[in-house]
Amino acid sequence: MTERFNHAAAEWDKGDTRQQIAQAVFQTITSRVALLNHMDILDFGCGTGLLSFKIAPLVRSVTGVDLSEKMLEQLEAKNTDSLRVTPLCRDIMKEPLDKTFHGIVSSMAMHHVEDLPGLFKTFRSCLKKDGFVALADLEAEDGTFHTHGNDGVHHFGFEREKLRTIIEDAGFGNVRFHHAHTVVQESGAYPIFVVTATKG
């Protein structure tokens, strides 16, 4: 999976679909969560920083974590003196972070993680008291969303109530789902949600 993302990194931001998803996810997150200028935010599966750089002006810092070095190179190239996202190439489920965050955001990364209970326990350990998650991904689909095939895809989207149970079992409360966007392709229409929750 990492090899595919490394190969795709240089062209990742081209085309409208990913830009539209990032903008819709950003708008949904900011309509549901207060992003404040004292906050340190972690963007999980940040890729080239499409979401990270929208959030960065609103908060104190954004750390973008990803497994793809080439994606993070694209992110690093976008940094300026006035707007910066810190790239971090690490599997946070295997290598814990040495700091905690006020919030964790993510766009279209969860379906690439096989162990969801472990992921949300990791998220909880990365958060400060009363920290939040705001995570975007696909509603349950039939496996046709990824036009390149499903290598590295562990979940064909998510059924909301099953995901809610996983999130709550990991120690989160106030779990809420919000429609963010619908991607329309030849193969069908694919709704995207943002789920928000707070550390219990």
Structural domain boundaries in the chain: 2-199
Measured CA to CA in angstroms, residue 46 lies from 43, 53, 59, 164, 188 at distances of: 5, 10, 16, 23, 26
Spatial separation of the C-alpha atoms in residues 50 and 12, rounded to whole Å: 10
Kind and range of the H or E run holding 174 = strand 172-185
Tell me the pLDDT of the chain averaged across its residues: 90
Q: Which residues contact 37 (CB under 8 A, 6 or more apart)?
A: 58, 59, 60
- pLDDT tens for residues 157-190? 899 999 999 999 999 999 999 999 999 988 889 9
- pLDDT tens for residues 64-91? 999 999 999 999 999 999 999 999 999 9
pLDDT at 131: 98
Q: Is the pLDDT assigned to residue 10 strictly greater than 70?
A: no
Spatial separation of the C-alpha atoms in residues 98 and 151, rounded to whole Å: 31
pTM (2 d.p.): 0.91
User: Does residue 172 contact residue 158 with C-beta atoms inside 8 Å?
Assistant: no
Residues in the chain: 200
Q: Which residue has the higher pLDDT, 145 or 85?
A: 85
Spatial separation of the C-alpha atoms in residues 150 and 161, rounded to whole Å: 24
What residues form DSSP beta bridges with 184? Answer: 189
One of 3.40.50.150, 1.10.3720.10, 3.40.10.10, 1.25.40.10 is the CATH number of 2-199, namely: 3.40.50.150
